[in-house]
A and B are shown apart, each in its own frame.
Chain A
Amino acid sequence: MLWGFVLAVVFKKHGVLPGFKLTLGFTILYLSLIVLIPLSATFFKAAELGWSGFFDVVTQPRVLASYRLTFGASLAGALINAFFGLIVAWVLVRYEFPFKKLIDALVDLPFALPTAVAGIALSSLYSTKGWIGSLFYAHGIKIAYTPLGVTIALTFIGLPFVVRTVQPILEDFEPELEEAAASLGATRWQTFSKVIFPAISPALLTGFALAFARAIGEYGSVIFIAGNIPMVSEITPLLIITKLEQYDYPGANALAVSMLVVSFLILFLINAIQRWSQRRTL
């Protein structure tokens, strides 16, 4: 027993479990081979183009049109998700209704369903002959094969993010705060907008940013419903593939680098939001 105690003290002092060098070494090696080296190679390749060459590629009219569509539809999708995702999270946490557990589990479907499957399903559903698309087409609105269709697909792909970031915050929200607001004479809407909403807004913002980031790079679920008309409904990831198929490797690479830079900026932003909200709650 005493010997064990002595050993424990020794361990505490040096804090050493075995295998640190082995596991860290393997982690860094594997990370470098699979992720870091291939990713940095794209940046080196882009550098071969030079600034002006890079600038020429990413400012071609067709490329600019694809940026407008990709970022515009991603933003629209993320906004739709922020609004409806908040309602879904609210309803799942606060109210009781039949099949709630099942519905709750199915919210994660966009994470689990292969994007190609989502793509052909949404395309059929929202085409002019589809279950939903025909309802809108009766009023002269075409959804599939237009930028609206791209927005639908990008809304689908980002759907779980807002729900899953807001849900736990709502679950942990202290009832006392709401009761205090009500007893001080606040209406239900005032309680929501002045007490509850400020508490969930960092999570809402994080969910929105995650949905937006996911939408920008999305390919599989979009290309079936988009129609892919150059200048109109062609997203940037598809344009990368088009350039690749035309053996325009420097062009494809330049577009990829522009997307990587944007993705990393958003990742940085999301980390900043989370740090900011953690500091705020402390």
Chain B
Amino acid sequence: MSTGLPLTVILTAPSARTEPWWLRLILIGVALTFLLSFIFLPLALVFIQAFSKGVGYYVSALSEPNALLAAKLTLTAAGIAVPLNMVFSVAAAWSIAKFDFPGKSFLTTLIDLPFSVSPVVAGLIYVLLFGLQGWIGEWLKAHDIQLVFAVPGIVLATVFVTFPFVARELIPLMQAQGSEEEEAALVLGATGWQTFWHVTLPNIRWGLLYGVILCNARAMGEFGAVSVVSGHIRGLTNTLPLHVEILYNEYNSAAAFAVASLLAFLALVTLAAKSVLEWRVKAQLKESTSVH
């Protein structure tokens, strides 16, 4: 470096791996403007509009009977769908991560399938299957069972759209961890269940929680699929997102945003938990793979 330049210039000059300061500034500006118009402003708008008619209006919009019933149904649907998918995912991850069998990667693709199905189509398949014009619909009607345009349909649609969330976190995690610890436990005389509860479950707990939190966010926020199967019966088959739609279409924007702010708050809590858990999962993976 015999350029004759003062040392400070050399030290602050752009290295081989970075851009001149003005370009850095422009790129940061472009990125932040993009995120501002698509993420930050929409998010801010939800909370500002929610309180546009004051705190009193906000509270009354949330405590109104239809809003409470919608909240109850949302909690019910998520309360059934999330545990069901959680149990399924643990079973699926156990069979896929711990054993070898033909068609394994095909099975993994099939588990991911609901992600590539439009929510509207997800709702539609149940309406067609269990609705009155369907084969099963006739039988259900004869036995006085109402699945579609009722709570069971909403639960089913929610199970479908949240199907892969937990499994796609657990399968790679359990594959990376291997099964040596389980084998050790069995050798020492533990039963299969003991091995699962005391060895496997503690090893996957953060990954499991991560998947469950994402699954729950989607379950509580699902709109398209639930909209198709709900039949829009107010106070009976309305979830919180559907309640938002009704209020908004009635030009009751402040109330719509008040309910929406509740869901947006849930999304923020989800993101915060996700950030913390991502760090935990990484740490746990490092710990359990470094043992071997």
Contact = CB atoms under 8 A, between A and B. Distances in A.
Contacts of A118: 42
B203 interface: no
Interface in B159-216: 159-160, 163, 179, 182-184, 186-188, 192, 195-196, 214
B156 interface: yes
A113 interface: yes
B58 interface: no
A255 to B, nearest CB: 9
A94 B23 CA distance: 12
Contacts of A101: 275
SS class, residues of chain A in contact with chain B = helix
Nearest to B121: A256
Interface string A30-44: 110011111101100
A168 B109 CA distance: 23
A113 B263 contact: yes
B111 interface: yes
Contacts of B274: 105, 108, 112
A38 B126 contact: yes
Contact of A121 (B43, B95, B195): B43
A17 to B, nearest CB: 5
B138 interface: no
Given A220-B223, A237-B224, A256-B121, A97 B244 contact: no
A223 B214 CA distance: 24
Interface string A114-142: 11111011101100000110000000000
SS class, residues of chain B in contact with chain A = helix
Nearest to B240: A114
B35 A103 contact: yes
Interface in A162-190: 175, 178-179, 181-183, 188
Given A121-B46, A240-B120, A42 B92 contact: no
B49 interface: yes
B10 interface: no
A124 B257 CA distance: 10
B57 interface: no
Contacts of B183: 8, 11-12, 17
A88 B34 CA distance: 8
Given A91-B27, A217-B120, A244-B228, A249 B133 contact: yes
A-B pairs with lowest CB-CB distance, top 9: A217-B118, A114-B221, A182-B16, A18-B192, A220-B223, A219-B224, A237-B120, A121-B42, A112-B267
Interface of B: 14, 16-19, 24, 27-28, 30-32, 34-35, 37-43, 45-46, 49, 88, 91-92, 94-96, 98-101, 107, 109-114, 116-121, 124-129, 131, 133-134, 156, 159-160, 163, 179, 182-184, 186-188, 192, 195-196, 214, 217, 220-224, 227-228, 240-242, 244-245, 248, 253, 256-257, 260, 263-264, 267-268, 270-272, 274-275
Interface of A: 4, 7-8, 11-12, 15, 17-20, 22-24, 26-28, 30-31, 34-39, 41-42, 45, 84, 87-88, 90-92, 94-95, 97, 101, 103, 105-118, 120-122, 124-125, 131-132, 152, 155-156, 159, 175, 178-179, 181-183, 188, 191, 213, 216-220, 224, 237-238, 240-241, 244, 249, 252-253, 256, 259-260, 263-264, 266-267, 271
25 contacts: A4-B188, A7-B187, A12-B183, A17-B195, A19-B94, A24-B95, A27-B88, A27-B107, A34-B163, A35-B113, A38-B126, A84-B30, A112-B268, A113-B43, A115-B241, A120-B248, A120-B257, A121-B46, A125-B42, A183-B16, A188-B14, A191-B16, A244-B228, A252-B124, A259-B118
